[in-house]
Structure 1
Amino acid sequence: MQGNLTSSFHLLASLGTLLPQFAVSADVHCRCFPGDACWPSRERWAAFNKTLGGKLVETIPLAAPCHDSRFGQYNAGECNTLQEAWTLPQTHYDSSSSIMAPFFANQSCDPFTGIQGRCILGTYNRYAVAVGSASDVSKALRFTERNNIRITIRNTGHDYNGKSAGAGSLGIWTHHLKDIQISDHRSRHYTGKAMKMGAGVQGFEAYAAAHQHGLVVLGGECPTVGLAGGYAQGGGHSTLGSKYGLAADQVLEWEVVDARGRHLTASRAKNSDLFWALSGGGGGTFGVVLSMTVKAHADMPTSGGNLSFTSDGISQDTFWKAIEAYHVSLPAIVDEGIMSVSAFSTSSFAISPMTGPGVSAERMNELLQPLTSTLDRLGIKYTKLVKQFPNYFEEFNTMFAPIQVGIAQYGGRLVPRSAVLNNNSAVTHAYRKIANDGGAFFIVGINVSTSVAGDVYNSINPAWRDTLLDTVVTTPWNFTAPWSQMVANANKMTDKFIPILKDISPGSGTYINEADFQDPDFKQDYYGVNYDRLLQIKQKYDPNHTFYALTAVGSDYWEARPDGRLCKSRRNA
């Protein structure tokens, strides 16, 4: 539901804008906003598009067919199709504007709010540049600088924390940067196979390309996530994490355009400060990444395992004793190089799946034996499957089910190994308290210590290195519930759930990409001791704070007003 400017220009010109047709004076401390006298005319946007060779995309909300609006009339057939597919990532990731996390769409144009529900541009970017080169990015930066327009950086829209959304913004859309190259890399710190991937390359594309060469690269459990964006820039846990470390630990080189429009290469040998910041310091704030070169490892036989049980026929005390036993078993499991994903609430528990690169099915069964023995002793009926696969690619494609989007709100905490080893009952009590209050859990059992990651140089939150349980707590999203209820859920995450998790993990932190976006202590929780150095690097490469993303390094330079207008915070005005 968007098109190249040359094809959509006349359509939207006839529809008119969604703001009053009169100019208002701009606040000199704010980014220029649609409706302001400073906002570029349609002729200036068209001229800009010409300099780009027709790569400017004008936003039409994806769910416009579900409403009678200035974008067109309601279309029942199209709307039904959209509603049925709205929680599938592929519905959104080819869009230059759609937002997978509904909280940050703010019902700007929601397919479930009815024909007369508002369909406005709201928090979506106004335009996007479908970049194909560094030159396109530099032109976009010059245009926004001259016109004082907000920028957002976007790839697929996989974004739980609102970093790629922005009212009145120009999106720099990297989704079409799909080049992949396999090479032999030799440097002081790494000699071996490497993969260079464009910023638009998604997990499934990288995995398939690596597999063709007998290799593996690290990526997310959701295969449609873009790897070089916020995923790797924010750290990036992976099913291969206990074998090789985090995604940011694999990076050898970044290709980036900074706020001045300079096309730079960042590695441990060149622009090393920028390399350090991009490798774990969070996306959307240091520059526009065009490509990433990462270590590519030799593929290997890989085991996969599932185990699940419910609370049917047992007491809650017994149910939680079983979950506690699972956590007790994890240190030995992750130290074998296995990553284990679990999900649970008050009624069910599932390991789905365990991934053991280079680990036999027999060994995986041995590592599960302490847990299954406890389940037997507790009288809990469970199902278990452990299977050997000839390579990682087949294990991943077989064992992972499709992951929906837009079904939950997220918050999280990195729970260290010491919390489980020394006070596992407190960990269980905290999880149980949250679950009894409506929360559900998605937990990555992992070991990404320096003994696993090896010789790395990056800005990963040091709390990761001691983590055993990357804990994500969720509250359900309901598209038809009152908006106030969803806001209340977000506040419950901030005010109740996250403090409970902090109590069991003092001094630890949070995974940037699965964090509570309202965390008042985000500088410490997201970045740890690295924040001040990251801010210095931000100011070096982006002295005018061209790039803004919610909770990103330097984000408190700006503040978003209720209408979405981005303005300098009071201390910077």
Structure 2
Amino acid sequence: MASLYQTSTIVPSADASTVAPAFAIFNASSSNATANLFLGETRQLTHHVLANLTNLSLTNSGLFTFPDPNAPIRTPEDCKNFPGDSVMFPGTITTTVFNLLLGGSLIHTTPLASPCFPDYKNQDSAKCAEITSNWFNDSYIHTDDPTSINAILFQGTTCVPSVVNPFATHCTLGSYPTLSVNVSTVAQIQLAINLARNLNIRLVIKNTGHDFGAKSTGAGSLSLWTHNLKDIHFYGDYEEGSYKGPAFKMGAGVQVFEAYKAAREANVTIVGGEARTVGLTGGYILGGGHSPLSSIYGMGSDQVLSMEVVTADGKFVTASETSNPDLFWALRGGGGSTFGVVTSMVIKALPKIPVTTVTFTLSTGTEVLVDQFWQTLRAYFQDFIRYTDAGMYSYFSLNALTGNYVWTMQPWFAPNLTAAQFKEITAPFWNATRIIGVDLKPVYKEYDDFYQAWDESFPLESWGTNLQRPGSRLFPKENWEDQNKLSETFEAIRYVVDSGGYVLAFNIAPNPKGGYPDSAVNPAWRNAVLHAVDAVTWTQDMYPELIEIWSSVLTFDWGPRWRSVSPNSGAYLSESDYIEPDFQQSFWGDKYDRLYELKKKLDPWNVFYAQNAVGSEDFQMSDNVFGMLPSQNSRLCRKKPTPVGK
């Protein structure tokens, strides 16, 4: 690492507005990455800075030190420290010193919906009305908030507007973190990680909170809010390992809509998600990341050339094929909040690509009988392999929640194909619909570039309901190579819809013809042609006991049916059952053992934890909701070994 050329001075009696934050500035070349560091990445915590704090006799400065590499790993406590367990956290002195070192970026959590209640003394009827009217349909208000998350069911719905819970009268933290750091520098991340490790505090990471499994929240925790790491730099001719070509370096807070806009301006294309507010270089890529372009280019994580990461020991390192390759392997698909805090990634940029889209809706009623509905859908299922072999992707939903069966194709997405080519490839399906007697009235659109096709095809995603719980399954190509297996697969999916469930599905095959890098991505993705999400829903007036019964249907009825027709496959960790059975196999297959070993090696202190993340089986929440769902609004504790013979 390059030598220190500037250090800050910490004055214990000063306030955050007059104190320089605790960091040293390094040359951009101090990283092993080919791409220069962003400005915030040059601001790093060092032993030199910590020595200065000690010399100043700054109170509690020892809480922010790096681990001694020669000292044994201490025996961990049974549970993570909770507010009230120690005077240190969130003690007044510690919090004050922490905020000074951070340069004033510490946030005391005030839940997003708190203006609707008197508890935080910020009640504001106009602000409450604005939050209430936008709660479900404006995900930006949640991603721009330090602690708001999508999975409010598992948060505990302790501070929600009346559209979520008309009976709510108070606002409490629930599983929202006690404190958050508005991250703008590497040093801030290092300070928080060191404090969490040294005090055994639960640490969580929130980028956007766009997650179905409550991975970015936790009661009594300290949170790293990486959302504002928005730097983007385009390289027209980038070299990393064997790759030579255009690439972007993007901060961890860059969202899909921002990344796609930058790619359009550079006249290139990048592989990202369909949802606008997802953090592209955050949990999306760390979990693998499927895309409308996956049938051509593979997973989002397949595009990564390097990452800048702060690890559990507080070190700032580069992860690439040549620098910390084991960490690089794990971060691409091994899941977020597990191996470190990513500050930026370098990802491949691809040529500009035209797209054809098709949309339609089919609903039962006076003109379409139930049998016709399912015959039409079965005809569509028939050629999934043919479609993905051509690079296609489709995004469709199925439900009968209103009494009629409804199939919405929004959209059938065909990169690098004209409308004429699309019609030729899909001709057997359209011929079948005519025989069945159904007119889908498809709407075709052709676009010169991916951005416009994406922008017009995928609406802003909904957010924040406590009235549903999803699961998922990756259905393999082999099920389409055997007509009996295909019929069993189709019937298993129909069963969920007939039983009152909602199905959101993707015809997708992230197994590109050009191959893909070795990484921690679930191997089931490489064999899949269908990723399907099933969701159970309930109404606000249901009793908790009835919700528990209805919720259990997802895990213990629908899930087994889907697994029975895909026994050697898996599920997508970022869109999955909150209590996925045997999640290790489902999310990572035969790669799990290596991931678990790396987790123990890279994070022996268990600084990082998230629901269903690698190594999470060693921990448990101290309480449940609806009988069986671990409550993030409770203590995080180590599982006690099962006595021999039990």
> Out of 132, 135, 148, which is 1:83 matched to?
132
Q: In structure 1, how many angstroms separate the alpha carbons of the residues matched to 2:544 and 2:271?
A: 37
Superposed displacement of residue 29, structure 1:
1.6
Q: Could you say which residue in structure 2 is the equivalent of 1:417? A: 477
Q: In structure 1, how many angstroms separate the alpha carbons of the residues matched to 2:479 and 2:219?
A: 42
Q: In structure 1, how many angstroms separate the alpha carbons of the residues matched to 2:195 and 2:201?
A: 8
Q: In structure 1, how many angstroms separate the alpha carbons of the residues matched to 2:471 and 2:543?
A: 21
Q: Which amino acid aligns with 2:130?
A: T
Q: In structure 1, how many angstroms separate the alpha carbons of the residues matched to 2:230 and 2:116?
A: 32
Q: Tell me if the contact between 1:100 and 1:159 (Cα under 8 Å) persists in the aligned partners.
A: yes
Listed as ranges, the matches of 1:77-476 within 5 Å are 77-87=126-136, 88-112=138-162, 113-114=165-166, 117-183=169-235, 184-313=237-366, 314-346=368-400, 347-407=405-465, 408-422=468-482, 423-452=485-514, 454-476=515-537
> Out of 91, 103, 115, which is 1:53 matched to?
103
Q: Which amino acid aligns with 1:463?
A: A
Change (3 A) 1:72 1:115: farther
Superposed displacement of residue 74, structure 1:
4.7
> Out of 612, 616, 620, which is 1:555 matched to?
616
Superposed displacement of residue 145, structure 1:
2.3
Change (3 A) 1:197 1:486: farther
Q: In structure 1, how many angstroms separate the alpha carbons of the residues matched to 2:584 and 2:286?
A: 16
Q: Tell me if the contact between 2:151 and 2:464 (Cα under 8 Å) persists in the aligned partners.
A: yes
Q: Could you say which residue in structure 1 is the equivalent of 2:636? A: 566
1:213-260: CA deviations, max 9, x gaps?
111111111011001111111111101111100101111111100000
Q: Could you say which residue in structure 1 is the equivalent of 2:26? A: none
Q: In structure 1, how many angstroms separate the alpha carbons of the residues matched to 2:553 and 2:94?
A: 45
> Out of 535, 540, 550, which is 2:601 matched to?
540
Q: Tell me if the contact between 2:398 and 2:504 (Cα under 8 Å) persists in the aligned partners.
A: yes
1:488-509: CA deviations, max 9, x gaps?
4432211111111101111100
Superposed displacement of residue 542, structure 1:
0.7
Q: In structure 2, how many angstroms separate the alpha carbons of the residues matched to 1:572 and 1:287?
A: 30
Q: Tell me if the contact between 2:395 and 2:505 (Cα under 8 Å) persists in the aligned partners.
A: yes
SS in 2 for 1:513: coil
Q: Tell me if the contact between 2:197 and 2:605 (Cα under 8 Å) persists in the aligned partners.
A: no
Q: Tell me if the contact between 2:295 and 2:512 (Cα under 8 Å) persists in the aligned partners.
A: no
Q: In structure 1, how many angstroms separate the alpha carbons of the residues matched to 2:324 and 2:473?
A: 32
SS in 2 for 1:281: coil
Change (3 A) 1:480 1:49: farther
Superposed displacement of residue 52, structure 1:
0.3
SS in 1 for 2:574: helix
Q: In structure 2, how many angstroms separate the alpha carbons of the residues matched to 1:489 and 1:54?
A: 46
Q: In structure 2, how many angstroms separate the alpha carbons of the residues matched to 1:194 and 1:257?
A: 22
Q: In structure 2, how many angstroms separate the alpha carbons of the residues matched to 1:449 and 1:142?
A: 40
Superposed displacement of residue 424, structure 1:
1.8
Q: Tell me if the contact between 1:324 and 1:424 (Cα under 8 Å) persists in the aligned partners.
A: no
1:334-385: CA deviations, max 9, x gaps?
1111111111124111221122221111111222322222111111232211
Size of the aligned set, in residue pairs, is 548
Q: In structure 1, how many angstroms separate the alpha carbons of the residues matched to 2:133 and 2:232?
A: 33
Q: Tell me if the contact between 2:362 and 2:440 (Cα under 8 Å) persists in the aligned partners.
A: yes
Q: In structure 1, how many angstroms separate the alpha carbons of the residues matched to 2:339 and 2:548?
A: 30
Q: Which amino acid aligns with 1:151?
A: L
1:136-185: CA deviations, max 9, x gaps?
11111122223221100110110101111100000011101001111122
Q: Could you say which residue in structure 1 is the equivalent of 2:570? A: 509
How many percent of aligned residue pairs carry the same amino acid?
36
* Higher Cα radius of gyration: 2
1:4-30: CA deviations, max 9, x gaps?
x979xxxxxxxxxxxxxxxxxxx9421
Change (3 A) 1:377 1:282: same
Normalised to the residue count of structure 1, the TM-score between the two structures is 0.92
Q: Could you say which residue in structure 1 is the equivalent of 2:630? A: none
Superposed displacement of residue 532, structure 1:
0.5
Q: In structure 1, how many angstroms separate the alpha carbons of the residues matched to 2:206 and 2:378?
A: 40
Q: Relative to structure 2, which stretch is displaced further, 475-484 or 337-346?
A: 475-484
SS in 2 for 1:514: coil
Q: Could you say which residue in structure 1 is the equivalent of 2:114? A: 64
Change (3 A) 1:361 1:389: same
Q: Could you say which residue in structure 2 is the equivalent of 1:33? A: 82
Q: In structure 1, how many angstroms separate the alpha carbons of the residues matched to 2:613 and 2:532?
A: 21
Normalised to the residue count of structure 2, the TM-score between the two structures is 0.82
Q: Which amino acid aligns with 1:363?
A: Q
SS in 1 for 2:445: strand
SS in 2 for 1:411: strand
Q: In structure 1, how many angstroms separate the alpha carbons of the residues matched to 2:503 and 2:451?
A: 27
Q: Tell me if the contact between 1:406 and 1:477 (Cα under 8 Å) persists in the aligned partners.
A: no
Runs of 4+ in 1 over 6 A off after TM superposition: none
Change (3 A) 1:73 1:281: closer
Q: Which amino acid aligns with 2:591?
A: N
Superposed displacement of residue 72, structure 1:
2.4
Q: In structure 2, how many angstroms separate the alpha carbons of the residues matched to 1:268 and 1:315?
A: 56
Q: Tell me if the contact between 2:161 and 2:168 (Cα under 8 Å) persists in the aligned partners.
A: no
SS in 1 for 2:481: helix
Q: In structure 1, how many angstroms separate the alpha carbons of the residues matched to 2:382 and 2:464?
A: 32
Q: Which amino acid aligns with 1:555?
A: S
Q: Which amino acid aligns with 1:72?
A: K
Q: In structure 2, how many angstroms separate the alpha carbons of the residues matched to 1:480 and 1:91?
A: 27
Q: Tell me if the contact between 1:416 and 1:508 (Cα under 8 Å) persists in the aligned partners.
A: yes
Q: Relative to structure 2, which stretch is displaced further, 415-424 or 123-132?
A: 415-424
Q: Which amino acid aligns with 1:330?
A: F
